[in-house]
Structure 1
Amino acid sequence: MSIKFKNVTKEYKTGTNSFYALKNVSFKANEGEIVAILGPSGSGKSTLLNILGEIDRATDGEIMFGDLNVSKLSDKELTKYRRNNVGFVFQFYNLIPNLTAFENIEVAAELTKSPLKIEEVLEAVGMLQNKNKFPQQLSGGEQQRISIARAIIKNPKLLLCDEPTGALDYNTSKEVLELLDKINKMYGTTIFIVTHNTSIASMCHRIIKLRSGQITDVKLNKERISPKEVEW
């Protein structure tokens, strides 16, 4: 499904003061794209991602997910929207420590009516041989692979990644980027990646730049390269 933001604003009020995390943000992303969201700290990147996933609600504006106006959904309808359409990947994995890799994914699979097969997803992320290990028995890169597997087990149309390589070293970061690219091609998943690393944008189809809660640039990447070629 395509994603469209039209004049999306997020305002926070404290007493008589107000702060705009996003202000009149508009863009469109096509189905099956990998989109980079770039900008300095405090630019509104994570707020934009949270509103995309409807973890947070916009103060004003319109958000379209295909033909669905997400902005008008009730809280109950939003829960169903997130459950069926959105997967999240975070910087610090957020795996349940007392569950195995398989069980962490299984918990997410139970949230949706038509999950992918757990073994299929484990194989796709290169972790089938580690399915019975607990998170503390896995490296950071391996934990992030399980985190990605947990997010895609629902076969979401939209995968939202908040600094997915932020806690990883260079080589492991490259492996995770290659995995995200593989997931995009294998399942046709639309992927948004929030990152401080501007080099990652070179592997993305579309690049959105933010500053002080406003978009400064949106462009299609006509010279997209493979994750293996990304250098920083």
Structure 2
Amino acid sequence: MIRFEHITKTYRKKSADVSALDDVSLEIATGEFVSVRGSSGSGKTTLLLTTAGMLRPSSGRVLMGDRELYAIPQHERATIRSHEIGFVFQMFHLVPYLNVLDNVLLAGTGKSSRDEAIRLLDGLGMAGRAGHHPAELSAGECQRTALARAFLNSPKLILADEPTGNLDPENATVVMEQLKAYQKLGGTVIVATHSERMDEVADRVVHLDHGRLQTMNAGD
């Protein structure tokens, strides 16, 4: 489904160049659950943003199927993000003046519906919080809201950036189970994380260290 060919992303900081990704080549199959592990600053978030068509690499190619993401017009990449990719941000990025249900519906593209949003919230144990605003929610509830928003359009690909990083063990387990359930329905899941817990549900673990791909381990 996704192929990275010699991806490099370099940032200019003061008088030095910093490589967030350094010659990364990787293939991810349709329906696979991949955990991208590494410490803070290892390049995990950069890899996700590049996969989503949000961050152009300095060199190399990103292919989704037979489409080279950064060789097509920006509006086509935006359409792919809207219809085929669900992104779960580490800091949730919920709109503070909208309630939970309306935050989820922000991801709607026309094929989604209010009923579907309510169904997703119910499955995540959030139906009773649909009318509440983000400031009234716990971190776990905010993350489950963000998950429902990402799932709304039944995208082919879910990208999740540290989805359990701010959560207690119980809520982290809920998020992991929901991501695994989405994979079982046919979705592809890529999670950036520093936690070993995601290895429990991932098919494969990819390690990044200072932007370089180190090892790839088969999951259980």
Same-fold status (TM-score > 0.5): yes
Q: What residue is the counterpart of 1:206 in the other structure?
A: 204
* 1:20 equivalent in alignment to 2:19: yes
Q: What residue is the counterpart of 2:66 in the other structure?
A: 67
CA offsets, 1:49-77, max 9 Å, x none? 11011221111111111121113122222
Q: What residue is the counterpart of 1:9 in the other structure?
A: 8
What is the aligned-residue identity percentage?
33
- Distance in structure 2 (CA, Å) of the matches to 1:172 and 1:199: 13
* Count of residue pairs brought into register by the alignment: 218
4+ runs deviating over 6 angstroms? none
Deviation at 1:16, TM superposition (A): 5.9
Decide whether the 8 Å contact of 1:29 with 1:206 is kept in 2.
no
List runs of 5+ in structure 2 lacking aligned partners.
Answer: none
Q: What residue is the counterpart of 1:133 in the other structure?
A: 132
| AA at the equivalent of 2:153 | K
| AA at the equivalent of 1:204 | A
- Distance in structure 1 (CA, Å) of the matches to 2:14 and 2:145: 42
Q: What residue is the counterpart of 1:183 in the other structure?
A: 182
- Distance in structure 1 (CA, Å) of the matches to 2:61 and 2:217: 21
List runs of 5+ in structure 1 lacking aligned partners.
Answer: 224-232
TM-score by length of 1: 0.87
Deviation at 1:114, TM superposition (A): 2.2
Q: What residue is the counterpart of 1:165 in the other structure?
A: 164
- Distance in structure 2 (CA, Å) of the matches to 1:42 and 1:184: 27
Query: CA 1:177–1:15 in 2, change beyond 3 Å: closer, same or farther?
Result: closer
Q: What residue is the counterpart of 2:112 in the other structure?
A: 115
User: Which shows bigger deviation, 45-54 or 65-74?
Assistant: 65-74
Q: What residue is the counterpart of 1:150 in the other structure?
A: 149
User: Which shows bigger deviation, 36-45 or 121-130?
Assistant: 121-130
- 1:44-55 to structure 2, matched below 5 A, reads 44-55=43-54
TM-score by length of 2: 0.92
SS at match of 1:108: coil
Q: What residue is the counterpart of 2:190 in the other structure?
A: 192
Deviation at 1:15, TM superposition (A): 6.7
SS at match of 1:13: strand
